Amino acid sequence: MLNRAAENGQRQAKIQVEPGLIPGNSERFKRQVEFLLEIDRLKQTLRQTILLDRSRHENSVEHSWHIALAAMIFEEYAGTDGVDLGRVIRMLLLHDLVEIDAGDTYCYDEQAGADQHERERRAAERIFGLLPADQVQAFRRLWDEFEDAESPHARYAHAMDRFQAFLHNYFTQGEMWRKHGIRRHQVVRRMHPVERGAPLLWDYVAALIDDAVRKGYLSP
């Protein structure tokens, strides 16, 4: 589990927003600014996924930006249920903020994943709790909806989350798959949300999985 943000958080002092400089001394505005400054720490959270040029690990902000754009690009493949693209993008921009505290849990690491939900739930309470009460509720509803993965919007968001990382693995010749000894059946299981949330992309995903095995990127 890569958690540079959590490590750096031990050294990084909280940035203080001076109330006297806020127009009208607004507590609401102060909390919003503090939240915006706090989420900058997500840039320090590194993922197991590497960039396509293979120069370094991707960070969680780059991932969130990339999947939000993916949701816009591939909307036509979302299936017949119809999705609210704006809602999907909001989910995708919010869902990994918990990694500021919880770190990025490698999806194939079962031991690290055992307490992932609880770590991320605690992180959601703290991080979203920095906001004014109405925004706490609105942001948390979106985060919970993504986690539940039941609405068509959340299913499509999950599909984009998985699809982007999958493409990075395939188009880097399976470097991280090979490093961790990942097998075909693990990737098939991991990619199930694409079949559920963007079914028109599934044939392409299945073809790339088979090709990855043939090329040695992925163990059979």
Digit-coded pLDDT (tens) for 72-128: 999 999 976 789 999 999 999 999 999 999 999 999 988 888 899 999 999 999 999
Digit-coded pLDDT (tens) for 39-81: 999 999 999 999 999 999 999 999 999 999 999 999 999 976 7
Q: Phi and psi (nearest 5°) for 58? A: -75, 145
| CA distance linking residue 120 with residue 85, whole number of Å | 25
User: 46 has which bridge partners?
Assistant: 59
Indicate the helix (H) or strand (E) that contains 170: helix 152-171
Residue ranges of domains in the chain, CATH in brackets:
4-47+59-215 (1.10.3210.10)
Tokens representing 93 are: 């921009």
pTM above 0.75, yes or no: yes
**10: pLDDT strictly greater than 50:** no
Indicate the helix (H) or strand (E) that contains 60: helix 60-73
